[in-house]
Chain A
């Protein structure tokens, strides 16, 4: 199993540009999530999904969209990038149906918005 994979590893955007961060898992996990990590702030939940076709907002959802058309994929879209979205983004998945227990994280995408 490849586990949780994320692409790209690094990305630089200009203010106002849009892009999609890709996340995929091959473990057949129902629960998937997106976090952002900023210095001194820990990890904060952006959006999550408890299964295909079901998504919901986390603590910091503004400026981000998600969709979940398959169990494997959970892309994160930045609609109009802002410097405040400069961060490291992590995707995670959990084998525990309907809950966020035992989340396994991908390697992250480091995003810089200029």
Chain B
């Protein structure tokens, strides 16, 4: 049973455009929703995270939008750059849980 569903599997965006990656979760006990960025040959790196008490969190060009009632959250990358080309993973966890549950990942390619 996949608890975190991520889409799309791959995404191609023009330089300067907006990249949007979506995730949906099932477990209402989840209370921490991070996004990780992974470059080829590297480990995932924590990019940005949100708690369900806010609907949006912004850090530079990266924004998480969170919809608690729909059990969905998304990552928006504004002014996408070729250096943003990477695989992005959403994840979820809970205070009582002991694991991050990951989505299957989205490969983003930003064309110049």
| Chain A contacts to B: CB under 8 angstroms | 4, 31, 33, 35, 40-45, 48, 50, 56, 58-59, 90, 92, 99-108
**A13, B103: Cα distance in complex, Å:** 29
* Number of chain B residues close to chain A: CB under 8 A: 23
Q: Assess whether B43 is in contact with A100, with CB atoms less than 8 Å apart.
A: no
- 10 residue pairs, one from A and one from B, having the closest CB atoms: A105-B43, A42-B102, A42-B104, A43-B102, A45-B99, A100-B93, A105-B44, A100-B100, A107-B43, A101-B32
Contact of B99 among A48, A102, A106, A108 (CB under 8 A): A48
- Helix, strand, loop or mixed for chain A's interface? strand
What sequence of 0s and 1s flags, for each residue 76-112 of chain B, a beta carbon within 8 Å of any chain A beta carbon? 0000000000000100010101111011110000000
Given the interface pairs A99-B95, A99-B97, the reply to whether A90 lies near B103 with Cβ below 8 Å is no
Q: Assess whether A99 is in contact with B46, with CB atoms less than 8 Å apart.
A: no
What sequence of 0s and 1s flags, for each residue 44-60 of chain B, a beta carbon within 8 Å of any chain A beta carbon? 11100100000000000
